[in-house]
Chains A and B, each alone.
Chain A
Amino acid sequence: MSSLTVTALTKAFGVTPVLGGVDLHVPAGSFTALLGPSGCGKTTLLRIIAGFDDPDSGTVTIGDRVVAEGTGRGVPARRRGVGFVPQEAGLFPHLSVAGNISFGLPRRQRRDGGRVRGLLELVGLDVALAERSPHQLSGGQQQRVALARALAPAPSLVLLDEPFSSLDAALREETRAAVSAALDAAGATAVLVTHDQAEALSMADQVAVLRSGRLVQLTDPQTLYRNPQDLDVAMFVGEAVVLDADLRDGTAQCALGAVPVDGAHPDGPARLLLRPEQLRLSPAGSVRDAVVAAVDGVDFFGHDARARLTLPGGVTVSARLDGNELPSAGAYVGVTVRGAARAFPVGAAHAPVPLQPSA
């Protein structure tokens, strides 16, 4: 396993800039998610790291080896030792599962059934699948075989290009868990490209948020969720309650009353970020200081629910509830805030190209 360092990487297709100077460091043995909306350049970045495309400028370093530098042709993909798991698994249709897994092994080791069995077990698949054809496997099984194939030559780095996006919800959870476990067991450095923030937050050690070809924030999942760089990142990585507020001495006055604010922020007008799970509902009038809000509707998800509320002054917000006691639409409830809010300057509330939160 090796670390990965990307410095000042740029790439344009024709006159369209795709990457505008990306810096990224992935420590050896870590799992990093590249998170961004479609078209932000994350797949291009991945293809340059893999060696399928050349950058216009900047460097890519794997371990202590520079594999791409500036405009010249870098180290070819086949000499980089980078495993690649494509979106649709990309198993060779003319080879069996065993043939696929052993594809990257030296000729003498290809016949070694033990290696293939070991790799199948590593990704949590039945060894009886070895002689199957790829088309006889389910989507999740195909992804696991693709991972086993990528891990077989013991790469210094594994790249995964949205490997779970074509799976249905139930299979996705199961495959994610198997892939995480296999990567842990192999001790591989891994980079996962995804547009699914839940996937990035739950799987990765660190998340790199990409927006319009630039790295916006690189941090661990908890910090990213609780302390996002700006409101756009905040809204992209999770549901957000955003309110106009007036800040004084670490307390904000907003439609939800007085709310404490984390971190240093100059006094004056600001935009306030809360998460829906920070809003607490109570029967109207039962709690002092609670703001009374009208319930517009309730979306029930089973394990929890979301209430859509209109605050005095007409601002609409969402509150996340455990699914036990739900208010009914049209009722009035009291709303209090748990914990502190984050404050952002008013002017820079929106980046030029906003991130679109994905479903």
Chain B
Amino acid sequence: MTLALAVAVAALALLPLGHIAWYTVDLGWDGVRELVLRPRVGELLWNTTRLVVGTVVCCAVLGLGAAWLVERSSLPGRRIWHVLLVAPLAVPAFVNSYAWISLLPGLDTYAGALLVVTLSYFPFVYLPLAAAFRGLDPALEDTARGLGLSTWAVFLRVQLPQLRVALLGGSLLVSLHLLAEFGALQMLRYPTFTTAIYDQYRATFNGPGATMLAGVLVLLCLVLLLAEIRLRGRRGYARNGRGAPRPVRPVGLRGLTAPVLLGLGVLVVLALGVPLASLGYWMARGAGADLDWHDLAATTGTTLALAAAAAVLTTAMALPTGWLAVRARGRVATLLERSTYLGSSVPGIVVALALVTLSIRVTPWLYQTVPVLLAAYAIMFLPRAIVTVRSAVEQAPPLYDDVAASLGSSAPDRLRRVTLPLLAPGIGAGAALVFLAVVTELTATLLLAPTGTTTLATAFWSASSSLEYGAAAPYALVMVLLSAPATVLLSRDVHRGVTT
């Protein structure tokens, strides 16, 4: 029963991938060659690749430096800096992009795109690295210093090798997010595969063209996933360490304290200050004009309802997979869990495209309805729910069930008094993460939302696309406010930040 449900969930998650594969085979080699081997695709590939490489390098440098400063140096106010360095995650990348381009219209270049996405994504590298630094045993560093190594040599020869897994994981996360990013880059008029797929879909409703671009995009994702697995090697996950047994003796910054503080300050101002100031500016400009409170409230209501429904659905779907992954360990459970993750690593635009095509062809009565939109959310955000449900099931070993049974408790009674109370925090956290992800979801919602259904993200998008920056600001502000709790969650529980 549980197995059947988990298989169904995995099948749904693999639906977009399967659709692309089937479509490609159906098209045949000639069709693929005609659609893929053309200058436009090469141009997109070049654009996408240089942006991914540039962003990963920038994020790695910023994330590594900031994590070292916060976790291992004598930086004043380290806890505050930690929160400030995670906080940019509360600003969706497309809102950040809007904030910058509305102030500086000249940012529609490679450099502008690099700046904006780096500022949005560097916390994805910072978070796992900060956690990894915390997990490192300071005794190793002391030993290395005792062997005569300088601070710099300790970093290069002792710390960096142990941080490899976290650094790779964070970089993979940045790359996958960037491949899926639509709103931020569309607003900066920087064409990548994702924006090209969207344009093609909007302009011509061109099925084969858009689908083949999606196929190339999916290939890029798979290549990245494989590369990360290969590079990570067989080493264990250092970031799962239980924290240092002894307090760390921070490295003194001495004369460098002032420049370092200035540098971090500039980073936080750029990543957090500029978007918030820009939002404030447009709020002030637009508020006098025509802020429609009724519209804003209605849109917020729709968004919250959709997010709540998606959170419940996705968490319920995650239960069988998460349960089996712990209670029935083995090849089948691992295969199901992995295929769900694989299916969900596909960019939102591809998921949306696949569901549009499939629903038109197979189930026309479902096209542009809420169930299809919820299915897309579920496919995209399943890993968030599975990871939390899984760790909750790990906290509830079958032993508790046996003990409760020996104390005379019946199966429904055990579910009510033992299993559910133990799983509740994990299920709740998973649902909250999905909820918050849906609140700021743009790409799939644009393609799949029923006519007349607007969410905060799509309302913001239509206003800012027609350059009504003032009208867009309130929607952005509500999204930022709703995302703030997720940021708190992430800055506390660093492991969860690594999973999507």
Contact = CB atoms under 8 A, between A and B. Distances in A.
A78 interface: yes
A92 B418 contact: yes
B422 A94 contact: yes
B423 to A, nearest CB: 10
B298 to A, nearest CB: 40
Contacts of B406: 50-52, 77-78, 80, 82-84, 150
A65 to B, nearest CB: 15
B399 A90 contact: yes
Interface stretch (B35-43, B93-101, B407-415): B407-415
A153 interface: yes
Given A93-B422, A94-B422, A78 B408 contact: yes
A90 B400 contact: yes
A257 to B, nearest CB: 55
A103 B407 contact: yes
Contact of A92 (B400, B402, B408): B400
Contacts, number: 57
Nearest to B409: A78
B402 A84 contact: yes
Contacts of B410: 78
A103 B407 CA distance: 7
Contacts of A93: 395, 422
**Contact residues of A: prevailing secondary structure:** loop
Contact of A77 (B405, B418, B421): B405
A94 B417 CA distance: 10
Contact of B399 (A77, A80, A86, A103): A86
Interface residues on B, range: 10 to 19
- Count chain A CB atoms within 10 A of each CB in B395, B400, B408, B421 and give the residue with the most: B408
Contact of B408 (A47, A52, A86, A153): A153
Interface string A75-116: 011111111101010101110000000011000000000000
A51 B418 CA distance: 19
Contacts of A52: 402, 405-406
B403 interface: yes
Given A93-B395, A93-B422, A94-B421, A51 B404 contact: no
Contacts of A81: 408
A87 B400 CA distance: 12
Interface residues on A, range: 20 to 34
Interface in A44-80: 47, 50-52, 76-80
A149 B403 CA distance: 10
Given A93-B395, A153-B408, A86 B422 contact: no
A98 to B, nearest CB: 14
A274 B404 CA distance: 47
Contacts of A51: 405-406
B182 to A, nearest CB: 42
A103 B404 contact: yes
Interface string A265-302: 00000000000000000000000000000000000000
A279 to B, nearest CB: 46
B425 to A, nearest CB: 9
A104 B418 contact: no
A152 B409 CA distance: 13
A182 B399 CA distance: 24
Interface string B410-450: 10000001100110000000000000000000000000000
A86 B405 contact: no
Contact of B402 (A50, A80, A103, A104): A50
Contacts of B409: 78, 103-104
Nearest to B401: A52
Nearest to A82: B406
B395 A77 contact: no
- Count chain B CB atoms within 10 A of each CB in A88, A93, A94 and give the residue with the most: A94
B305 to A, nearest CB: 31
A87 to B, nearest CB: 9
B242 to A, nearest CB: 15
Nearest to B418: A92
A57 B418 CA distance: 32
B403 to A, nearest CB: 5
Interface string B162-205: 00000000000000000000000000000000000000000000
A330 B290 CA distance: 103
Interface in B361-408: 395, 399-400, 402-408
B338 to A, nearest CB: 26
6 contacts: A84-B403, A84-B406, A92-B403, A92-B404, A103-B407, A104-B407
Nearest 3 pairs between A and B by C-beta? A104-B407, A84-B406, A77-B405
Interface of A: 47, 50-52, 76-84, 86, 88, 90, 92-94, 103-104, 149-150, 152-153
Given A50-B402, A51-B405, A152-B407, 11 more contacts: A52-B402, A78-B409, A80-B406, A83-B406, A92-B400, A92-B418, A93-B395, A94-B422, A103-B409, A149-B407, A150-B406
Interface of B: 395, 399-400, 402-410, 417-418, 421-422
